[in-house]
Amino acid sequence: MRVARAARRFVPVLVAVLGLSMAVGAAAASAHASLDDASPRAGAVLEGPPVEVVLDFDSEVVQQLTGLRLLDATGADVLLNAPLDTPDRTQVVVPLRNPEDVPAGVYVVRYRVTSVDSHVMHGAFTFQVGAAVRDQRAVLESVGAGGASPALEWVIGALRLVALAGFSLFVGTGVLAAVAAGASGGMSVRQRLHLTHTGWAAVAIAAVSTVLLLAAQAAHSAGFGLGGIADVSAWSDAAPARFGIALLVRLVLVAFCGLVVGGVGLAGGAAWRATFAVLVVCLAVTFGLSGHPGTGRLPALGLLLDGFHLLAAALWVGGLGVVLLGRRTWLGGGEADAGAEADGGAGTDAGAETDAGAETDAAAMRLVTLLPYAVAVLVLTGAAQSWRLVRSVSALDGTTFGGVFVGKMAISVLVVVVVIAASAAIRRSTLLPARRLLVAHAVLGVVAMGVSAGLVGLNPDERGPLQPAAVSVQQGTLSVSLVVTPAVEGANDFHLVVDESDAVTPTAEARLSISRPEAGISEVSIPLAPDGPNHYSAYGVSIPQAGTWQVTIEVDRADGTTATLSTSVRIAG
């Protein structure tokens, strides 16, 4: 009764925690940032050095977890000031400390940002100061684009899987306890002990994995390797971020889970069941905040789908896990054990214990027969969620996210077959085949959960960092370099730099036109304006579609002759 009274007191607290979690979830509705634009733009050719580097993302980033470096062609750092605290959380602004000391040359911008759903995005692009013809792509390859620690990313994926396993085990324990407690004979002492042990194991797994996940995510966001997990300063930077708040809320909820586990014998009561239900929903929300549900189209629908998906997975894997971990208790062992107790104890109590054991076995079987419905919800919501993110079959082709998603759907087909076979075996009371099928069932469940944890760490929108299309063509002593940035469908900037080794005076004029005959697009003239000696530019030129475009360049030389050069550029979608 004390536990029941305590549960009633804590339910309002848990409801408040759920509200906080939902508020964080609503704020994270535009997570998983990708770089949309930059100043200087990728591939830009500037007459003088910039005073600041500005990065614009398509959604909010955690500004205190931003890292940016500006490197020259030798890989040496250009001194920068601290990022500015701007009201626009989709923008990062980093001033140069001494812009007047930046000489002409090619520069590499390396950035690392953390989106509000904890995903760390790395990238790099180049720009140049001065109009001389330079190979920006070669400089980027030489200096390097940087990147994350693969080992740390694997650790984060493993910790996500362990956290999901702990949550699932807790859900399975609670659901089985509620079903068994509702049976006519209640739970036997042995079965109550088993549920208590698995419940405490679930709490321990969830608590430890959540703490380690927060530390690993903090190190990842700070650009550290595995050794950075122990860096307390990184923890303090990550804790105020939305994903940090979600993980801390999860820790509080896990502490409340101990209340439910300690009172598992009261699983038949309304207060216990209400507390368990609120805890499970709150925990599911915190998991949703660290993945893709708040990204892409219809983020509210994404959060709803993710909630049902996670709860179905937890019931499936957790329910199977609890039954198989206590297979002697739940799969045919209950009656024998209860009978042994009956032989050694008083008649009335032993008989009640026998009935309780038999009823609890039946309750476990009823739980197992619910699993096909959980798997159906799991498959449907998982497919809908992934489709919401990728939007088309073509988006799955050639992407890591698409490959993992297709693999997960193949596993889902196997799961459906095994579920049907296991349910049929249980209905026929063929216990040994049922046990084997349930083991196969559980193995497939763990594999599917591992694939899901991997999908959480992947970006469904695999756009690479902004990189220009850069080409150079030569005719005799005349060399022309063309840079189109960002070289994607829509608005683009054109930079044309002319270099002629024998020329004493600048070129008189340059003209540029593009065409795409295979798409029925005839030659379109691009108006160029002088942007310095032998440097011509056009800004905000709209390119209507992706593909390979033919380019014609005409240069009026100082001696009165005109040179015509042809090349092509690739525009991404």
- Judge whether 309 and 286 are in contact, CB under 8 Å: no
- Give yes or no: residues 292 and 422 share one domain: yes
Task: Tell me, letter by letter, the H, E, C secondary structure of 180-233.
Answer: HHCCCCCCCHHHHHHHHHHHHHHHHHHHHHHHHHHHHHHHHHCCCCHHHHHCHH
- Give yes or no: residues 512 and 443 share one domain: no
- Give yes or no: residues 294 and 233 share one domain: yes
**Is 461 domain-assigned?**
no
Q: How many CB atoms lie within 10 A of CB 168?
A: 28
- Preceding peptide of 486 cis, ω within 30°: yes
**Is 462 domain-assigned?**
no
- Give yes or no: residues 134 and 172 share one domain: no
**Is 546 domain-assigned?**
yes
Query: How large is the angle between the packed helices 299-313 and 270-288, nearest 10 degrees?
Result: 120
- Give yes or no: residues 427 and 492 share one domain: no
**Is 464 domain-assigned?**
no
Tell me what pLDDT residue 271 has. 92
- Give yes or no: residues 363 and 379 share one domain: yes
**Is 244 domain-assigned?**
yes
Residue 389 tokens, joined: 């993110």
- Which domain-ending residue is among 81, 112, 143? 143
Q: How far apart are CA 88 and CA 91, in angstroms?
A: 6
Assessment of whether the complete model's pTM goes beyond 0.85 = no
**Is 506 domain-assigned?**
yes
- Which domain-ending residue is among 97, 112, 143? 143
- Which domain-ending residue is among 456, 484, 507? 456
Kindly list the averaged pLDDT for each block of 10 residues, start to end, along the chain of length 573: 43 38 36 74 84 88 85 91 87 92 90 80 85 74 75 86 92 90 76 92 96 90 83 82 87 94 90 94 83 58 79 84 81 46 41 41 68 77 68 54 64 66 59 57 61 52 61 83 85 84 63 91 90 83 91 85 90 80
- Give yes or no: residues 136 and 274 share one domain: no
Provide the domain count of the chain.
Answer: 3
The CATH number assigned to the domain holding 475 equals: 2.60.40.1930
The CATH number assigned to the domain holding 64 equals: 2.60.40.1220
- Give yes or no: residues 165 and 136 share one domain: no
Domain containing 548 equals 469-571
- Give yes or no: residues 367 and 394 share one domain: yes
Dihedral angle sign, alpha carbons of residues 461, 149, 221, 466: negative
- Give yes or no: residues 339 and 446 share one domain: yes
333 contact partners, CB below 8 Å, separation of at least 6: 327, 361
Q: How far apart are CA 28 and CA 197, in angstroms?
A: 36
- Give yes or no: residues 100 and 68 share one domain: yes
Helix (H, G, I), strand (E, B) or coil at 340: helix
**Is 53 domain-assigned?**
yes
Q: How far apart are CA 406 and CA 400, in angstroms?
A: 10
**Is 463 domain-assigned?**
no
Query: How large is the angle between the packed helices 270-288 and 242-262, nearest 10 degrees?
Result: 160
Tell me what pLDDT residue 444 has. 62
- Give yes or no: residues 451 and 484 share one domain: no
